[in-house]
């Protein structure tokens, strides 16, 4: 019994290719997030345009992964861990596409902010951006390594980002009262925080898929798990 190689070598090659595509997609999505962040925090309008333009490539990869995934299901009719890997890879791909969407929306709202004197509060979103990015990177790592322990830790971190979002929104609403002329900017900032919060949600979803792929356990809609002290 050979534990690692499929009798059909084509299957191994097809699954490896599918996973390579999704990791490529994750890499492009990461770049998109970084461009959106540079756009927001550094006012780099050029990178705003890059973030928007790059999304098309990510959309194409999502379609390719869907097509290839369906073909694998059709040709090989995988079961057990093979089936879970194909299904979870396709679902991760959908979440990556949504994260890229959020990055584009951040970039577009950031571009609007750069046309006016920049609010100091923009930089208040820097730590949230880092949290969301780190959560996203760890979710991809957990999926790539099928590291269920890391994946299970992501829900709690997503909750923290949710809390930051609430705090940031409360703060910006309060500031609107003080500076009614900049209401539009504050609304944009509130939306950007909301987009980052959604990045956290999708990263958490990727973590859930990593657990499903690794351990066949569906942990969606469950309370966050905290590691034992």
Residues near other proteins, by CB under 8 A: 1-8, 11, 77-84, 216
The nearer residue to other proteins, 38 or 213, going by C-beta atoms, is 213
**Residue 77 or 181 with smaller CB distance to other proteins:** 77
- Closer CB to other proteins, 14 or 61, in the complex: 14
What's the closest the beta carbon of residue 10 comes to other proteins, in angstroms? 11
Question: CB 82 → other proteins: shortest distance, Å?
Answer: 5
Among positive and negative, which fits the CA dihedral 90, 93, 97, 102? positive
Closer of 4 and 181 to other proteins (Cβ): 4
Nearer to other proteins, 83 or 150 (CB): 83
Closest contact distance (angstroms) between CB of 15 and other proteins is 11
Please state the closest distance from residue 85 (CB atom) to other proteins, in A. Answer: 10
Least distance from other proteins to the Cβ atom of residue 8, Å = 6
């Amino acid at each position: 019994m050979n534990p690692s190689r499929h009798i059909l070598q084509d299957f191994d090659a097809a699954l490896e290719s599918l996973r390579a595509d999704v990791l490529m997609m994750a890499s492009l999505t990461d770049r998109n997030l970084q461009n959106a962040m540079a756009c927001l925090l550094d006012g780099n309008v050029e990178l705003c345009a890059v973030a928007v333009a790059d999304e098309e490539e990510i959309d194409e990869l999502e379609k390719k992964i869907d097509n290839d995934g369906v073909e694998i299901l059709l040709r090989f009719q995988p079961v057990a861990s093979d089936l879970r890997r194909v299904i979870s890879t396709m679902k991760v791909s959908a979440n990556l596409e949504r994260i890229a969407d959020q990055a584009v929306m951040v970039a577009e709202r950031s571009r609007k902010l750069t046309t006016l004197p920049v609010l100091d509060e923009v930089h208040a979103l820097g730590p949230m951006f880092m949290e969301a990015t780190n959560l996203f990177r760890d979710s991809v790592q957990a999926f790539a390594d099928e590291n269920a322990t890391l994946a299970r830790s992501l829900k709690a971190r997503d909750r923290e980002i949710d809390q930051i979002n609430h705090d940031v929104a409360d703060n910006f609403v309060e500031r609107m009262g003080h500076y009614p002329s900049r209401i539009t900017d504050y609304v944009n900032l509130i939306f950007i925080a909301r987009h980052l919060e959604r990045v956290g949600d999708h990263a958490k979803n990727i973590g859930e898929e990593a657990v499903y792929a690794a351990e066949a356990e569906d942990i969606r809609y469950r309370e966050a798990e905290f590691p034992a002290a």
